[in-house]
């Protein structure tokens, strides 16, 4: 690890981004105070529990709390007083019109202003529309009691849920957006231990980098899903095509996995927000609207495959493997798998479901009539069809022999292309996947 000067850092908001960021900062030696207004969450964290499932995080939180580098409080005043650098990592939820609700950011900016008594660097980590940094600066200036100096910095986060610790500890790049040179050295000291390239730019560009990056990744997924449709119509195989184009370094193989579409709390929201921001700036971002359209069509096409095979969904018993919006997480927000379950239930199906981590959170989104099975190998028992809805690698180890023998009909709809079509047919399944 590079030699470093520990920084005093406060993180406001202990959601996915805030908690993982604060913990990783402590891990490399900084002193970190995490603030959250939810007292029960703060108590849980102080006691060594964590409110989310994220591989590697729990151990890291415990280790850093024990070392005294990481602490939790519900007092913003304490957080502001104790540190020189204050990160804002509060939610920026979607509004019904696709815009972003910035009220939490504004409230935190006012609180920081109220408690500031010396120079602070206020860093926005939450995903926000371009020009938010300027508004945060105006707000702090307006609400601070004395003329305390401060700088606002935009430092977007690129972590993926399920790989958050890995992404934080080994980032591809760190983006620092600032108006003045004054906070640059301190920000570099925060990030030097991570050994990643640091890009210093203006605030507006830093904010745009985040929305432009996420929208591009979503575009990549919709592109491969559109190509998958052409593969199905022409008899080509999407895996072969994705491998063939992905080996071009300019394109890359990652985010070229066809399936039932993207979900989660970032891509759908960030895409809508970017379209809205562009509209407000006078540009109709039709390309991104098409990305959204392909994504919703992808689910319709998968459902059509199911109804074409089963004909009538009413009273069919269907097993569903996967509820989280992707592998390695318990997050079921905006999950294509949950959407699929709800659509099948609406058509009268009976469901047996399983997810390695997402079952508890899914219970609040699905009706009591759904059977939550605790052993993935038992989900298919007695079913007319089995669906794979999330790309958990563990599903590749499914006892296929047991599934085939115990299903009333061995029909498998693989929404994440986990299995090989030739092998599955050899095993006696009617097997339908995406783009092959």
- 326: contact with ligand UDX by CB under 6 A: yes
Q: Are strands 150-154 and 120-124 parallel, antiparallel or unpaired?
A: parallel
- 221: contact with ligand UDX by CB under 6 A: yes
Q: Which is nearer to ligand UDX, 258 or 386 (CB)?
A: 258
Site for ligand UDX in 29-68 (CB under 6 A): none
Least distance to ligand UDX, CB of residue 327, Å: 8
Q: CA 19, CA 34: separation in Å to the nearest integer?
A: 7
Q: Which is nearer to ligand UDX, 25 or 158 (CB)?
A: 158
- 333: contact with ligand UDX by CB under 6 A: no
266: annotated active-site residue = yes
Q: CA 173, CA 187: separation in Å to the nearest integer?
A: 13
Q: Which is nearer to ligand UDX, 104 or 143 (CB)?
A: 104
Q: Which is nearer to ligand UDX, 26 or 159 (CB)?
A: 159
Let me know if 74 is exposed, middle or buried by CB neighbors in 10 A (0-12, 13-18, 19+): middle
Least distance to ligand UDX, CB of residue 271, Å: 10
One residue of 50, 152, 217, 340 binding ligand UDX per CB under 6 A: 217
- 157: contact with ligand UDX by CB under 6 A: yes
Q: CA 271, CA 127: separation in Å to the nearest integer?
A: 12
Scanning 61-69, 139-147, 250-258, 351-359 for contacts with ligand UDX by CB under 6 A, the matching segment is 250-258
SS (H, E, C) 7-45: CEEEEECCCHHHHHHHHHHHHCCCEEEEECCCHHHHHHH
Q: Which is nearer to ligand UDX, 267 or 302 (CB)?
A: 267
Q: CA 169, CA 56: separation in Å to the nearest integer?
A: 11
Query: SS3 for 84?
Result: coil
Least distance to ligand UDX, CB of residue 176, Å: 16
Q: Which is nearer to ligand UDX, 14 or 76 (CB)?
A: 14
DSSP string, 375-406: SGGGTTTT-SEEEE-S--GGGGG--HHHHHHH
Q: Which is nearer to ligand UDX, 79 or 156 (CB)?
A: 156
Q: CA 104, CA 77: separation in Å to the nearest integer?
A: 16
Tell me, residue by residue from 337 to 376, as one string, x for binding to ligand UDX by CB under 6 A and - for no binding: ----------------------------------------
* Neighbouring C-beta atoms of residue 195, cutoff 10 Å: 12
Angle, helices 286-310/203-234, rounded to nearest 10 degrees: 40
Query: SS3 for 123?
Result: strand
One residue of 255, 279, 297, 421 binding ligand UDX per CB under 6 A: 255
- 168: contact with ligand UDX by CB under 6 A: no
Catalytic hit among 34, 231, 266, 383: 266
Least distance to ligand UDX, CB of residue 67, Å: 28
One residue of 325, 354, 395, 413 binding ligand UDX per CB under 6 A: 325
Least distance to ligand UDX, CB of residue 54, Å: 10
Residue 90 tokens read as 């509060």
Q: CA 101, CA 97: separation in Å to the nearest integer?
A: 10
- 392: contact with ligand UDX by CB under 6 A: no
Q: CA 188, CA 137: separation in Å to the nearest integer?
A: 21
Residues making contact with ligand UDX (CB under 6 A): 157-161, 214, 217, 221, 255-257, 259, 262-264, 266-267, 325-326, 391
Point out the residues that are catalytic: 266
């Amino acid at each position: 690890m590079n030699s470093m000067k520990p920084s005093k850092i406060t993180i406001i908001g202990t959601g996915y981004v805030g908690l993982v960021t604060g913990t990783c900062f402590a891990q490399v030696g900084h002193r970190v105070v995490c603030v959250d207004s939810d007292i029960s969450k703060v108590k849980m964290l102080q006691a060594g529990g964590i409110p989310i499932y994220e591989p590697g995080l729990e151990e890291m939180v415990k280790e850093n709390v024990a070392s005294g580098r990481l602490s939790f409080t519900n007092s913003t005043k304490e957080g502001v007083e104790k540190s020189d650098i204050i990160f804002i990592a509060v939610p920026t939820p979607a509004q019904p019109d696709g815009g972003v609700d910035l009220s939490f950011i504004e409230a935190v900016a006012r609180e920081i202003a109220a408690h500031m008594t010396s120079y602070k660097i206020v860093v926005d980590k939450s995903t926000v529309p371009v020009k938010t940094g300027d508004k945060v600066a105006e707000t702090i200036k307006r609400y601070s009691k004395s003329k305390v100096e401060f700088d606002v910095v935009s430092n977007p986060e690129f972590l993926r849920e399920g790989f958050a610790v890995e992404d934080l500890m080994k980032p591809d790049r760190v983006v620092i957006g600032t108006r003045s040179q004054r906070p640059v050295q301190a920000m570099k000291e925060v990030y030097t231990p991570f050994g990643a390239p640091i890009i210093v730019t203006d605030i507006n560009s830093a904010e745009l980098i985040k929305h432009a990056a996420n929208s591009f990744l979503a575009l990549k997924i919709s592109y491969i899903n559109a190509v998958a449709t052409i593969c199905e119509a022409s008899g080509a195989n999407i895996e072969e095509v994705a491998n063939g184009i992905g080996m071009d370094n300019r394109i890359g193989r990652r985010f070229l996995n066809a399936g039932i579409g993207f979900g989660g709390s970032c891509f759908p929201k960030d895409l809508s927000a970017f379209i809205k921001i562009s509209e407000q700036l006078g540009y109709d971002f039709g390309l991104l609207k098409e990305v959204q359209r392909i994504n919703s069509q992808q689910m319709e096409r998968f459902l059509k495959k199911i109804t074409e095979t089963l004909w009538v969904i009413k009273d069919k018993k269907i097993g569903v493997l996967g509820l989280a919006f992707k592998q390695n997480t318990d997050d079921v927000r905006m999950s294509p798998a949950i959407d699929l379950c709800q659509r099948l239930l609406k058509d009268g199906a009976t469901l047996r479901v399983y997810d390695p981590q997402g079952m508890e959170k899914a219970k609040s989104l699905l009706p009591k009539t759904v059977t939550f099975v605790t052993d993935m190998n038992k989900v298919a028992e007695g079913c007319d069809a089995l669906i794979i809805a999330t790309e958990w690698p563990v599903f590749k180890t499914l006892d296929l022999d047991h599934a085939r023998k115990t299903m009333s009909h061995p029909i498998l709809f693989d929404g994440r292309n986990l299995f090989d079509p030739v092998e599955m047919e050899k095993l006696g399944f009617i097997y339908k996947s995406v783009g092959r």
